[in-house]
Chains A and B, each alone.
Chain A
Amino acid sequence: MEKEILLEVKDLKKVFKTPKSKLFEKQSGVRAIHEVSFKIYKGETFGLVGESGCGKSTLGNIIGGLIPPSEGIITFENKSISTLDKKEAKSLSRNIQMIFQDPYSCLNPRKKIGWILEEPLRVHHIGTKKELRRTVYEMLHEVGFDKSYYNRYPHELSGGQRQRIGIVCSLMLHPKLIIADEPVSALDVSVQATILNLLKDLQEKYQLTYLFISHDLNVVEYMSDRIGVMYLGQLVELGRVEDLYNNPLHPYTRSLISAVPNVYDDKYKNKTSLKGEVPNAMHPPAGCPLCTRCPECMNQCKTIQPPLIEIEHEHYVRCHKYL
């Protein structure tokens, strides 16, 4: 069966310009995203992992339409996003919604839960006041809240409850793609499991597609069908979860997986830990982004950037070792 492509990203680049400090200085910039291409199929969960500053959230924000890309094409259901006019862009935003990391700061503290949840519907002029209220009641019920929560303020809720409200809020418009940017990293372990279960249930019920961004490899492995590993703004490895975890090809993926403390098994006992730290994104290395830390760095790594190539079915890697 041919899988239907929901979203395709091609050669996406994003450069954040830094302010000039001298009048005739050449404009410089931080390379946040560099030549990222991938596809997301309908109904799957695509996981995006990487350390802080690798550009995973920026990528999520670009796809969610919060910041414009510098270069590259994003197509959603065979329509290019960047060429849309205002009206089309608005209707697109009905189909792509976001869940944010911090449940404490993403809800307006001065508005009631009901108001917050009605807002997306109001923005898109859907339904009368009465209908709005009914839809909100229904959706609240969906995630296990009763009607009384309609009139509550965010500060009355716990972190887990707020995150559930955040999830409901993204679901109000029945989107096709949900970008979940670290939805559980601010929560305690026991609450985290509840949210992950909820996300999975909702996916089944509404046939949602997730772009799941997280730095926690255990969580990403649990949630995703396919995973992209990012490092310094580049996609270094891309593949199905089983392939990636059982046979990690890129040295970065390997050390990332071995660095995660795991309660359950000692499979990765011999650690291939990386030396040093992530280089400054203002001055990335000329060749492979990992070349400053890679234990298997070769001569050509320092000067030539390796391309993303397919090693086995649906398993891509960006490394000179496999050329």
Chain B
Amino acid sequence: MNQLLDVKDLSIAFETNEGLLKAVSNVSFQLHENAILGIVGESGCGKSITAMSLINLLPSNAIVSSNQMLFNGMDLRSIDKNKLYEIRGKDIAIIFQEPMTSLNPLMKVGQQITEMIRLHENSTLKEAKQKTQWMMKKVGLSNVKKLYHSYTHELSGGMLQRVMIAMAMICQPKILIADEPTTALDVTIQAQILELMKQLNKENHTSIIFISHDLGVIKEMCTEVMVMYLGYCVEKADTSVLLKHPAHPYTYGLLQSIPNPKKGKSRLYAIPGRILKLSERPKGCPFCTRCKRATEKCRTQLPELQEISTNHFVRCFYPLDHPQN
């Protein structure tokens, strides 16, 4: 498979009044053509900003550094503004979490999609309009002619998310970043949207970076998963491997804390402690304050990301072998 995106040692820090705040450290990942990469983690773990940094959507006080950030052979770190505008939206598109607040309430829905075509392609207004309506139909919206002229407040959350997807997909991007696209939606609508994204992935060969906190959704969607905790990538593997044999205590804890119908009503496993603030990041392993297996070594030294089996990376001194036992 072709490698589409190659990010090495990405670090993001924010300049704040209290000094430099490290939000993401040494995150590396590759995205292959036609693949769906999941990024999981709890709030504040840096999963969204990792993805946003690719297309420079971070606030101005962010400092991004990395050893490599290749997109299709092009270095994303050194491209100029005009080139960035060209890529953003056309080659790398994004779907935000809350469709209700990320669309322009003063502009008609259709116009917002047409704007994308007009910006990135040399087509007449009429062609753009036709293409918009075709795309709107494709993402499962009905009565397109009328919808084209509606405003966002006239549409429901599920419909708006479809509009967002239509907007992101209209220029046939190579990479689609989906930042918790279904978190704000109901389960039955979520199922529809996930189905649609899978279908678009298959038909258009769009690679997807799928950000979510819900391991169930990740399982449904992704081929590969990266688990993040406090700005570090703590585990990375194929989805089936990760869910069956989690090697990092955090991943294991996350999986265990989801109610399991097979185990019945026994007590849930809860990861002790709380999620630390970024300013309180420990010196050693980020998870050492909540880990049962932590030793003195964990508290003082940061473990490296090591490969324990093919394509299964873990950042832990003492990875779990067979967590089922």
- Measured CB to CB, the residues of A under 8 A from B are 51-52, 158, 160-161, 188-194, 196-197, 200, 215, 217-219, 221-222, 245, 255-256, 258-265, 271, 273-274, 277-278
Contacts and interface: CB of A to CB of B under 8 A. Distances in A.
B259 A218 contact: yes
A202 B174 CA distance: 52
Interface string B196-215: 00000000000000000111
A5 B293 CA distance: 47
Given A190-B270, A193-B268, A218-B258, A263 B243 contact: yes
Contacts of B188: 51, 255-256, 259, 273-274
Given A190-B275, A196-B268, A258-B191, 20 more contacts: A51-B186, A160-B274, A188-B42, A188-B275, A189-B257, A189-B258, A190-B257, A191-B275, A193-B258, A197-B267, A200-B267, A218-B258, A219-B259, A256-B187, A259-B188, A260-B187, A264-B262, A277-B156, A277-B158, A277-B159
Interface residues of B, number: 40
28 contacts: A51-B187, A51-B189, A52-B186, A160-B274, A161-B274, A188-B42, A188-B43, A188-B213, A189-B42, A189-B254, A190-B253, A190-B254, A191-B274, A193-B271, A194-B270, A196-B259, A197-B270, A218-B258, A221-B259, A221-B261, A222-B259, A222-B265, A261-B216, A261-B219, A262-B261, A263-B255, A271-B191, A278-B156
Nearest to A159: B43
Nearest to B221: A261
Nearest to A216: B187
Contacts of A221: 259, 261
A285 B259 CA distance: 36
Nearest to A218: B259
B223 to A, nearest CB: 15
Nearest to A264: B260
Contact of A215 (B43, B187, B253): B187
Quick one: which of B43, B256, B270 has the most chain A CB within 10 A?
B270
B269 interface: yes
B274 A158 contact: yes
Contacts of A263: 215-216, 219, 243, 255, 258
A259 B186 CA distance: 10
